[in-house]
Structures are given as structure tokens and as C-alpha cells.
């Protein structure tokens, strides 16, 4: 624990610049959107308090907007506003709207009607009543709404990093995909602190009596503007090309770090989620992205892979990994699973992924079509000699492979099959295998080496560039350490890759990473 804390501290001091920048971006995002939400929500709340008939529908719409899952909302924004700050601010604004409108409305409507009547009877005009009576009396309720909105925004702003808008989410989500808890904490702790501190400060403001509040209220917009001003968009690009990398890629030696140290590639980079990155590249928001070499979207969006001519991306050849105990129990299983060995190359896998990810065909259909084409398909025998349990991670390629294995087992053996698909990430899948909850799942050599075995970095560096050495290393080590067998590789290499739009790559004559570096240096 102490060691953990120390290394967290050293991580933070090392990354202090980045952390500060992210925190300021985070505050900026939160407060710009909050300011806009107040500018829209407050008048809207006043309006519906005046015209009760509108209240139901306005609050209803704001309520529905609030229930859209944040990731989905960010997703919706991309076709409308692209990536970066704009869609993030709009999404945050939408989340902040409901508490502000609702509290303004209830705050005003909740005022004792005799007080409003008195104001009328004394000869105040509508505007005077609003500013001298209604708003001051509703203020603590309105502030409570703003407080809620602020806390929501600090939380949701972590997701802004998915669409290249920065903020503390860069560390949090980078850390999650890298399984680096220091990185997660370096993002999560400041984010939580921001929420707690802002909540506390606003609760103090809320408790001030009206007199002092009047003064503070003039300060708040200024303060919000100032904090919003921290969010200076990274507009100072030197080169014409823009890169977008996933948080995971940013932190990996076989990712951005390697690109910098081995290739010396310096390119303006934004952090963005895998889910929107390909589309952003397709639409020209980004020029260079990090992706997976067999991703179906490669094909869908007309992208091409830049050759890794200095070999920084380790091989990720897929192969089923099976419990030795299961192989002993289900005789003939190994042969059946090896039926796929060497059958699917990169472009074939990309095509299969394209069918599920983009054409929305079911993994089952894609698997069956493929097996029939290859002459491997046999009708199920519907045997009951035992149940083989197949696992898969939670993405399309793994679903397809799991389906193929299911059909092969049912067609070639007397065994029955149960599938446990969508088992989160590597760790969950592997734990299920170790705990005898599944018998096998498809794994990748690079993952087996770098994520599951995590050998001494020097060892890893030496063998990680060679596909055969990597395979034999994981095979022998898994057998020894876990009694788990790596069967023969299926053929494709689902590795990291840098990609560009095919047209741009041809126009610039950039087909390798070295060529990309040279192009950038020239311009």
C-alpha cells in the first residue's frame, strides 16, 4: 500500500504538467457548459413558472435528455458537431439543464402566493417582482440546482476524453485500459476532489443569507467565466496532420511512446475513444489514428494501415487457449479446434468483422457463411456426451470466433456446447478460464505475453518483435504456469496499427510510419 502510494505520488509529480492541463481543461469544460446551461435553463425555468402549461412538456423533454446514457449522448453529438470541445460542451450542457430548469421552476412556484400578491398590491411591475421578490426567494433552491448540475458535470466531463475534448478522463480511461492504477487514480482523485470541493463551496454560497448572497451572485458569473477561460482549445497545430489515439495507445510502449522513441514521430495528438475514432478519421477530423489491424471499420471507412517498418507493434496472433484438463476430458476437441488453424488471414478477418460491425449481420450468420465457404460446415449432431464451455471477450471478432468453434464442435463431435460470450476484458476471460467456468477462449499472443504473463521488460522487448518466439514463449510458459494450452494460431494478426484514409495516404505518398514521419518533418 505504501509502495503504491509512493509510486502514485511519483506518477503525479512526473506527469504534473499533464495533470494540471487536464484539470484546467476539466474545469473549463464543466464551467463553460454550466454557464451556458444557466443562460438557457434559468430563463426557461422562469418562463414555465409563468406559463404553467408549458411546465410539463419542458420538464419532460429535459428529463428525457437527462436519461440518455452519457456515452450515447456524446455519440449522437459527433455527426452533428464533430469531435472535440464543441460536442462535449453541448452534451454537458444538456445534462446540466434539467436540474437548473427544474429548480428554477419549483423555486419560483414554491413561493408563498400571498407574498407575490403583496408585491403586486404594492404596485411592483412584473420585472420588479421577478428581480426583487421571486428570484431572491427562489435563489437557494436555484443554487441547489446549479450545485447538482456542477457535480453532474464534473462527473460527466470525464467522458469528454472519448471525443477528444480532454479533461481528467484521459488519465482515468487510459489507466483503465492499461490496467495502470496509478494513472487511474491520478485522474480519478482530482476529479473526485473537484466534485467535492465545488459542492462544498456552492453549499456555502447557498447558505449565505440574502444580503451577502447579493454580492456573491455578481461574482459567480465572473468566476465561471474565468474558470471557463481555462479551456483554451489546443488550436496551435504546427503540422497539417492531426492524430487521434485511444487513451490505452497513448500510454503504451508499443503505442505512442514507441512511436516517439523509435520513430521520433511528433504529431499533434488528441485523445479519443475507440468508438468514434474511425468515424472521425473517415470524416477528416483526424488524419492518423491508432486502430486494430483487423477492425471491420478499416474497410467500412476506407482506411489503410501504415506499415510498421521498424516493428514496434508486437504480434497479436489469435489462437484458442484451452485448459489442459478440458483437453483430457473431451477427447478429439483439440483436433476440432485446430480445424480453424491458419484458415483466416488479416484481410479475411477484417472482412468478417466488417460484416458484423458494419453490415450488422449476426456473428452466427457470418460464422456459418464462412464455414460453408471453406467446406468446414457440418450439420449439428446434437450429441449429449458432455458440454464444452466457450468464452469470448466483448467484441465482434471474438463473437464470430466463438460461433465458429461452436458449430465445429457440434458438427464434428458428440459434445454439446454452451457459450459465455461478452466476458468483459482479458482479465475477466482469463479468470473464468482459470476458475474452470469456461473450457477455452480465443486469445492473442501479444496479450498473453504483455498483459497476462508480464515478463521482465527486457525479456518482453526482446521476444515481442518476433511472432514465432512470442508464440513459443507464451505456449511453454502457460503450460508450465497455468496448465493451459495454446493451440495453433488461426492465422490473422490483430495488432495495433497506425491508419490513414486510403486516399490521403496515396495522395501524400505515405505508406509506412517512417514515410509519415518524413512527411511531417518536411511540412
Partner 1 sequence: MITLADISKNFGSTRAVNEISFTVREGETLILLGTSGCGKTTTLKMINRLIEPDSGTISINGQAISREKPEFLRRRIGYVMQNIGLFPHYTVAENIAVVPKLLKWNKEKTRERILELIEKLRLPNDCMNLFPHQLSGGQQQRVGLARALVADPAILLMDEPFGALDNVTRSGIQSEFKALEELKRKTIVMVTHDVQEAFELADRICLMDCGKIVQIGAPKDLLYKPASEFARKFLDSQRLALEFKVVTIKDIWEFLPVNILRGKVNALSATTDVWSAMEILSSTLNDKVQLFSDPETQQTKVINFQELSGAFHSYKQTRSHD
Contacting positions for partner 1 (CB under 8 A)? 112, 114-115, 117-125, 128, 133, 136-137, 210
Please state, in angstroms and rounded to a whole number, the distance separating the CA atoms of residues 21 and 124: 49
Instruction: Characterize the bridge pairing of strands 496-501 and 303-306.
Output: antiparallel
Q: Are 171 and 19 in contact (CB under 8 A)?
A: yes
Min dist CB 106 to partner 1, Å, is 17
Cβ 53 to partner 1 shortest distance, Å: 17
In angstroms, the CA 373 to CA 76 distance is: 38
How large is the angle between the packed helices 16-50 and 169-178, nearest 10 degrees? 120
Smallest gap from Cβ 128 to partner 1, in A, equals 7
417 pairs with which residues across the strands? 388
Closest to partner 1 by CB, 128 vs 523, is: 128
Q: Which is it for strands 288-292 and 496-501: parallel, antiparallel or unpaired?
A: antiparallel
Closest to partner 1 by CB, 137 vs 433, is 137
Q: How far is the CB of 167 from partner 1 (least distance, A)?
A: 38
- Shortest distance (Å) from residue 114 CB to partner 1: 4
Cα separations in angstroms, 271 against 367, 424, 487? 34, 22, 36
Burial (CB < 10 A; 0-12, 13-18, 19+), residue 491, is middle
Nearest distance from residue 123's CB to partner 1, in Å?
Answer: 4
CA distance 46 to 473: 68
Q: Which is nearer to partner 1, 3 or 209 (CB)?
A: 209
Contact 319, 445 (CB under 8 A): yes
Closest approach, Cβ 177 to partner 1, in A, equals: 52
Distance separating alpha carbons of residues 272 and 278, to the nearest angstrom: 10
- Phi, psi angle pair for 500, to nearest 5°: -135, 165
CB of 147 to partner 1, least distance (A): 20
Q: How far is the CB of 241 from partner 1 (least distance, A)?
A: 59
Choose between 124 and 515: whose C-beta lies nearer to partner 1.
Answer: 124
- Greatest CA separation for the chain: 94
At 418 the three-state DSSP class reads strand
DSSP string, 214-280: HHHHHHHHHHHHHHHHT-------SSS--EEE-HHHHT-IIIIIHIIIII-----EEEB-HHHHHHH
Closest to partner 1 by CB, 118 vs 394, is 118
Q: Which is nearer to partner 1, 129 or 192 (CB)?
A: 129
Closer CB to partner 1, residue 90 or residue 124?
A: 124
Closer to partner 1 by Cβ: residue 3 or 112 = 112
Cβ proximity to partner 1, 55 vs 119, nearer residue: 119
Amino acid at each position: 500500500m505504501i509502495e503504491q502510494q509512493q509510486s502514485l505520488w511519483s506518477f503525479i509529480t512526473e506527469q504534473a504538467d499533464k495533470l494540471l492541463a487536464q484539470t484546467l481543461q476539466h474545469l473549463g469544460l464543466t464551467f463553460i457548459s454550466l454557464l451556458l446551461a444557466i443562460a438557457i435553463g434559468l430563463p426557461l425555468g422562469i418562463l414555465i413558472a409563468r406559463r404553467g402549461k408549458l411546465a410539463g412538456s419542458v420538464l419532460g423533454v429535459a428529463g428525457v435528455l437527462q436519461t440518455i446514457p452519457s456515452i450515447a449522448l456524446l455519440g449522437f453529438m459527433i455527426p452533428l458537431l464533430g469531435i472535440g470541445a464543441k460536442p462535449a460542451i453541448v452534451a454537458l450542457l444538456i445534462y446540466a439543464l434539467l436540474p437548473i430548469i427544474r429548480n428554477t421552476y419549483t423555486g419560483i412556484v414554491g413561493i408563498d402566493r400571498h407574498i407575490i400578491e403583496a408585491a403586486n398590491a404594492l404596485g411592483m411591475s412584473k420585472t420588479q417582482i421577478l428581480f426583487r421578490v421571486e428570484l431572491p426567494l427562489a435563489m437557494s433552491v436555484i443554487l441547489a440546482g446549479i450545485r447538482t448540475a456542477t457535480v453532474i458535470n464534473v462527473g460527466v466531463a470525464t467522458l469528454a476524453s472519448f471525443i477528444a475534448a480532454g479533461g481528467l478522463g484521459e488519465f482515468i480511461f487510459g489507466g483503465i485500459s492499461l490496467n495502470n492504477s496509478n494513472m487511474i487514480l491520478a485522474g480519478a482523485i482530482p476529479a473526485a476532489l473537484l466534485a467535492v470541493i465545488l459542492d462544498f463551496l456552492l453549499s456555502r454560497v447557498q447558505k449565505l443569507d440574502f444580503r451577502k448572497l447579493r454580492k456573491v451572485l455578481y461574482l459567480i458569473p465572473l468566476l465561471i467565466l474565468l474558470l471557463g477561460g481555462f479551456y483554451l482549445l489546443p488550436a496551435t497545430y504546427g503540422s497539417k496532420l492531426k492524430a487521434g489515439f485511444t487513451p490505452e495507445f497513448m500510454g503504451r510502449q508499443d503505442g505512442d511512446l514507441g512511436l516517439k522513441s523509435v520513430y521520433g514521430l511528433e504529431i499533434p495528438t488528441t485523445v479519443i475513444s475507440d468508438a468514434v475514432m474511425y468515424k472521425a478519421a473517415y470524416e477528416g477530423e483526424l488524419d492518423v489514428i491508432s486502430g486494430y489491424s483487423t477492425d471491420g471499420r478499416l474497410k467500412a471507412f476506407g482506411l489503410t494501415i501504415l506499415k510498421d517498418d521498424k516493428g514496434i507493434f508486437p504480434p497479436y496472433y489469435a489462437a484458442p487457449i484451452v485448459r489442459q484438463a478440458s483437453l483430457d476430458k473431451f477427447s478429439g476437441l483439440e483436433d476440432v479446434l485446430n480445424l480453424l488453424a491458419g484458415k483466416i488471414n488479416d484481410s479475411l478477418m477484417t472482412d468478417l468483422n466488417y460484416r458484423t460491425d458494419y453490415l450488422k449481420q449476426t456473428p452466427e450468420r457470418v460464422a456459418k457463411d464462412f464455414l460453408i465457404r471453406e467446406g468446414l460446415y457440418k450439420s449439428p449432431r446434437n450429441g449429449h456426451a458432455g458440454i464444452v464451455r466457450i468464452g469470448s471477450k466483448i467484441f465482434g471478432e471474438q463473437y464470430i470466433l466463438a460461433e465458429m468453434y461452436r458449430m465445429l464442435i457440434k458438427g464434428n463431435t458428440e459434445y454439446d456446447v454452451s457459450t459465455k460470450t461478452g466476458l468483459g476484458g482479458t482479465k475477466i476471460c482469463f479468470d473464468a478460464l482459470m476458475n474452470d467456468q469456461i473450457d477455452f477462449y480465443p486469445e492473442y499472443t501479444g496479450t498473453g505475453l504483455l498483459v497476462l504473463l508480464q515478463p521482465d521488460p527486457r525479456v518482453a522487448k526482446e521476444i515481442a518483435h518476433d511472432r514465432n518466439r512470442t508464440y513459443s514463449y507464451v505456449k511453454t510458459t502457460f503450460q508450465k504456469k497455468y496448465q493451459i494450452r495454446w493451440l495453433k494460431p488461426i492465422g490473422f494478426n490483430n495488432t495495433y496499427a497506425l491508419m490513414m484514409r486510403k486516399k490521403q495516404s496515396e495522395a501524400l505518398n505515405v505508406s509506412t510510419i517512417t514515410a509519415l514521419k518524413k512527411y511531417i518533418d518536411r511540412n
